[in-house]
Amino acid sequence: MKKLSLLILVIVFSVQSFSQGLDFGIKAGVNFANITDATGLTNKTGFVVGVFAGVKLNDKLGVQGDLLYSQQGAEFDAGEIDLNYVIIPIVIKYYITESLNLQAGPQFGFVVDDNIKEVFNGISEAESFDLSAVIGAGFEFPFGIRVSGRYNIGLTDIMKLGDGKNAVATVAVGYSFL
């Protein structure tokens, strides 16, 4: 009985101390997107919205994954290129202070809607998957508010024919429920 009681106490305190490092919430923000390696394109403004979950591993390191809907693409004289993704960035967070962190990691994007075929008269279509590198910084207020800025550097071409990679700057605000 004593061993069982001790085991239960150890588990309760372990779970409680681990859960203090957990983070789960919602976030929304604005994207300033463009397509690199292509001429005549300018930034397109869109939104990003979704959820995040993370864990602080120790005083200096944490990991966060997001599940977001993201409007991306670019504009040009005759119209715009629309690329709407479900993106999953997974970043390592390095805490400079208790609240300020630097972020870096991969991002996996899945096209859910686009107008590439229409814009290019059927000559090309969008790739269904996008791989990017993400760098950024964030600030976590003690009352649950999160503010972050990230830059997404596309590593794969967005079209089956032709060059062009995503380049997206994002500013977002979130709220952590934990």
**98-135: per-residue pLDDT in tens?**
999 999 999 999 999 877 766 666 556 778 899 999 99
- Based on the number of CB atoms within 10 Å of its own CB, is 25 exposed (0-12), middle (13-18) or buried (19 or more)? middle
Other beta carbons within 10 Å of 131: 14
Number of folded domains that form the chain: 1
Average pLDDT, integer, range 70-79: 85
Please determine, for residue 20, whether its predicted confidence score (pLDDT) is greater than 90: no
The answer to whether residue 1 sits within a structural domain is no
The domain that holds 60 is classified in CATH as 2.40.160.20
Number of CB atoms found within 10 A of residue 32's CB: 15
Domain ranges, residue 123: 23-176
Q: Judge whether 5 lies within some domain.
A: no
In a domain, 172, yes or no: yes
In a domain, 8, yes or no: no
Q: Is residue 88 part of a domain?
A: yes
For the cut 50, the answer to whether the pLDDT of residue 15 exceeds it is no
Q: Minimal CA–CA distance to 166: which of 122, 124, 110, 120?
A: 110
Residue 2 lies in a domain: no
